[in-house]
Amino acid sequence: MRIENVSADQRVSTRIEADTIAVVGLGYVGLPLAVRLGEVFSRVVGFDLSGQRVARLNDGVDDTGEIGHERLAASNLVFSVDPAILASASIYIVAVPTPIRPDKRPDLTPLESACRTIAPHLGKGDLVIFESTVYPGVTEDICGPILEAGSDLRAGYDFNLGYSPERINPGDQVNRLETIVKVVSADTPAALDRVASLYGRVIDAGVFRCSSIRVAEAAKVMENTQRDVNIALMNELSVICQRIGISANEVIDAAATKWNFAPFRPGLVGGHCIGVDPYYIAALAEELGHHPEVILAGRRLNDSMVNQVATALIRRLVLRGGAVRAARVGLFGLSFKADVPDLRNSKAIELVTALGGFGLSVMVSDAVCAPDAVEASGLSLTDPNEMHDLDLLVVAADHKAYLEDPAFPGRVKPDGIFADIRGAFRGRTLPAGVDYWSL
């Protein structure tokens, strides 16, 4: 297998020019893809269940911040909540969430719903490509039969299935959709040519063909599971380093001078990918009779880090002296990662709850999240102007607005605690007497 930078079959490429492409799901994954497709192909439509989301997009506003107003307006895309918009399509790309249930089992409800929405509009010769993260077998064993049942057509004969896992990294201005190699797969060689040609036209980095859909599905969950396990290792080493009384980040800096050391950093693992996807491959493994020891141990450890951080901060407050429950505490950055207005599976929100369990009243602020989204999570934002003279300042998501504000560290009292969870402020000058802490 090799990375291809252009379509190998011009006839396939020409056929795609005549297709209408429908992107189903217009979130962090679907919208950038729809916009990029619209810049290359003349007939691209977008469908989403959220009327509010579609209305904002039709007004030229992407609330995720991934696509700017000018680029969105120039894309000339049509967005709708009406499934009828799918009727003219011959290529469907599904980019809907694949979360987990409260019992940590895969929740394929959004994916199954998308298939039922598409099925009545399927025609002979159509192609359905899935980008959502799933465990191997979902595309062909779950999605395919739903599409067949709703269309009276046969997958692999009347229409085709493709899988090309999304690799979007929200908030990353360097590694963008166009610059990341696209893994592609399909149920027949001819369909694979079509999928490769489609993505080859919009992905500058090229495409990588897989021998089967299951290989491509497994590649995606392997990518994210590896990252989760690596962060779990660093989190455990961070806990050990704290007990020794040394900085884990300084240890990582030293170890990183060796050529084959992977410098992952400790932190709170939230969001809709890294903290979720390992459960997909774990569920399949258990169905196949294998208990995934390392994968689930990594998940348990990463999920435990909220309590580890909360306990460490309470100890710090106790050692500082004074009434812990009377401490002025301010937490900055509620989103699951820096400069991304997404609160899904936010460990910062869990940290607020954990600190509250110790009797602390925590003021919260976020530089990128909308107030109504924060309120929907059960919290209320505090005016940042009121968050000063803090006994404990917690940086949970190191938004650029905080890093670029020279006055930001001055929000903490001279004898207060500056808790920089990810170590983003390491090496910076803090007010004299401030107790600095990070994982």
302/423 Cα distance (integer angstroms): 17
- Provide the pairing of β-strand 91-94 with 127-130: parallel
Strand-by-strand arrangement of the 390-395 sheet: 362-365, 329-332, 390-395, 412-420, 435-437
Sheet of 3-4, strands arranged across? 3-4, 207-209, 182-186, 160-163, 127-130, 91-94, 21-24, 44-47, 78-80
Q: What is the pTM of this model?
A: 0.94
* Cβ-Cβ contacts under 8 Å for 102 (sequence gap 6 or more): none
Contacts of 76 (CB under 8 A, 6+ apart): 38
Report mean pLDDT in 10-residue bins for the chain, 439 residues.
Answer: 65 68 97 96 96 94 91 90 96 98 97 98 98 98 99 98 95 90 98 98 97 99 98 98 96 98 96 95 98 98 98 95 91 96 96 96 96 94 95 97 96 96 94 95
H-only helix segments in 41-179: 51-58, 69-74, 109-118, 138, 144-151
Distance CA 438, CA 285 (A): 35
What is the model's pLDDT at position 170? 87
Question: To which H or E segment does residue 224 belong?
Answer: helix 213-244
pLDDT of residue 299: 98
Cβ(199)–Cβ(184) under 8 Å?
A: yes
* Residue 194: other Cβ atoms inside 10 A: 26
Please report how many Cα atoms fall inside a 13 Å half-sphere around the Cα of residue 276, on the Cβ side: 21
At 6 the pLDDT is 60
What are the CA-CA distances from residue 254 to residues 197, 240, 248 (Å)? 45, 16, 10
The per-residue pLDDT for 7 is: 53
Domains belonging to the chain, first-starting first, are: 10-211 (3.40.50.720), 230-438 (3.40.50.720)
Active site residue 210: no
Q: Which two tokens stand for residue 353?
A: 């709850």
Catalytic entry in 115, 210, 241, 273: 273
Q: How confident is the model at residue 13, as a pLDDT? A: 58
Query: What is the crossing angle of helices 248-255 and 213-244, to 10°?
Result: 120
The predicted pLDDT at position 3 comes to 84
Cβ atoms of 72 and 63 closer than 8 Å: no
CA distance 87 to 152: 16
Q: Are 33 and 44 in contact (CB under 8 A)?
A: no
pLDDT reported for residue 298: 98
Angle (nearest 5°) at CA 303 between 233 and 314: 95
Planar angle of CA 65, 428, 267, nearest 5 degrees: 55
- C-alpha 426/C-alpha 429 separation (Å) is 9
Q: DSSP readout, 328-386?
A: -EEEE--SSSTT----TT-HHHHHHHHHHHTT--EEEE-SSS-HHHHHHTT--PPPGGG
